[in-house]
Amino acid sequence: MVNAIELFETTLRMAVWHTIIAFILPFASAKDIRPRPRADISTCKLAANSSVYLSTGFGYEGNCAPSTGTLSAFMIFVDFTDQAATETPQSLHDFFLPAAAEWYATSSYGALTLNVTADTSRFYRMPAQADSYGFQRGLTYQMHEKYIQDALDAYGKTIPPTDVLYIVPTSNAVAISFSPTFMGDVKTRAGAYVAKKSVTFGLDAYNTWKYLTLNHETGHAMCLPDYYPFNGSATGLFIGGWDLMGLISGPSPDYFAWDKWRLGWLSDEQVDCVAETGSTTHTLTPLEKPGGSKAVVIKHSNTDVLVAELRSASGLDSASCSTGVLLYTVSTITATGQGPVRVLDATPGSNGCEGYDLNDAPLSLRGTSSYTLPDWGIKVTVVSESNNGVDIKVEVS
């Protein structure tokens, strides 16, 4: 027979357990509000699509120039019988360097060193006139290769194998109108290997884009795509002025956090991955400054992610006309020039700043603090701001 004390203890234990269960049960069923742990970082490292040219995913195979350590380059200077040089090679070298190298040192947080060896002894005369090379947006692969091989023939010396060959024409060569990157292996006509890629500079560098032309084109050598549209639409259509691979002269030219991660400039520990439904909170520090958490990557599918990063008016983005949490989508199945990265505008109808609507796109407690991407079931909200960074809440349904 159970005595009174034992009966009391049993009744008390049952009452306590019923109370605990009644308290926990509502929270256990509330999947939409319960915080979730961070996903394994590899979940958000979308693989490059092998059938997409310059796919924005990880592991793109294209004999890319190195993006960490030392990127070695060789620079030669050329002129033409119809458009001869009147300046010195050294003056053109100084037009690009050391500013372009310093830009990479800053953007990469010291992870990449651009080491350029230049023969500034003289201009080497090309075997054909400048206007014979057909430099226009329809420049063919074959004509571009001919131009490079003519320059190598004119140089006439052995160039030790390097990562990138820079060919710099006299600024008088108005027929060499723009600055494309040759994306195939660079070889002499005799078949000797010279470089992984070649950047051939043109008049647009001297007149418009300045030394940043070298950074944009070398970005291609590292297999970064173009973020401006190839269909003739406004240069800032997809991303405004938020990345050098779009509008070179934009107010915020630093590379996106997504690409810095792909290039090895951000570690996995500096990126949060969200791949499940629920609510999570994250801290972001300014992309332009070393250290701290730099991006939240929210996986939508095996080919698409949403990225949140904090942009400030500092460092390479010191001319930014708007600051805050920048949101953009990344598609690994969208080719270069077709909008593989698209900035989301948190302030539609504002007319933007510095020429493009998207230049004031970021979220901020000073303006629009929340953005919902309904088709993806994602909502991002700025929770708090300080001089050192921001806290954001990510809700995935």
Q: Is the pLDDT of residue 31 over 70?
A: no
**Ranges assigned E (strand) in 170-317:** 181-182, 186-187, 193-200, 271-274, 278-284, 295-299, 304-311
Quick one: which H or E segment has residue 142?
helix 141-155
Span of 131-135, 282-286, 361-365 with lowest mean pLDDT: 131-135
pTM for the model: 0.89
Predicted confidence (pLDDT) per residue in 32-76, tens digit: 333 445 689 999 999 999 999 999 999 999 999 999 999 999 999
Residues of the chain with pLDDT > 70: what percent? Answer: 90
Predicted confidence (pLDDT) per residue in 140-186, tens digit: 999 999 999 999 999 999 999 999 999 999 999 999 999 999 999 99
Q: One-letter amino acid identity for 8?
A: F
Q: Is the pLDDT of residue 350 over 70?
A: yes
Predicted confidence (pLDDT) per residue in 264-288, tens digit: 999 999 999 999 999 999 999 999 9
Each domain of the chain, given as residue ranges in start order, spans 41-59+236-396, 69-221
Mean per-residue pLDDT over the chain, rounded: 92
Q: One-letter amino acid identity for 144?
A: H
Mean of pLDDT values over 232-242: 97
CA angle centred on 186, ends 185 and 190, rounded to 5°: 115
Predicted confidence (pLDDT) per residue in 290-321, tens digit: 999 999 999 999 999 999 999 999 999 999 99
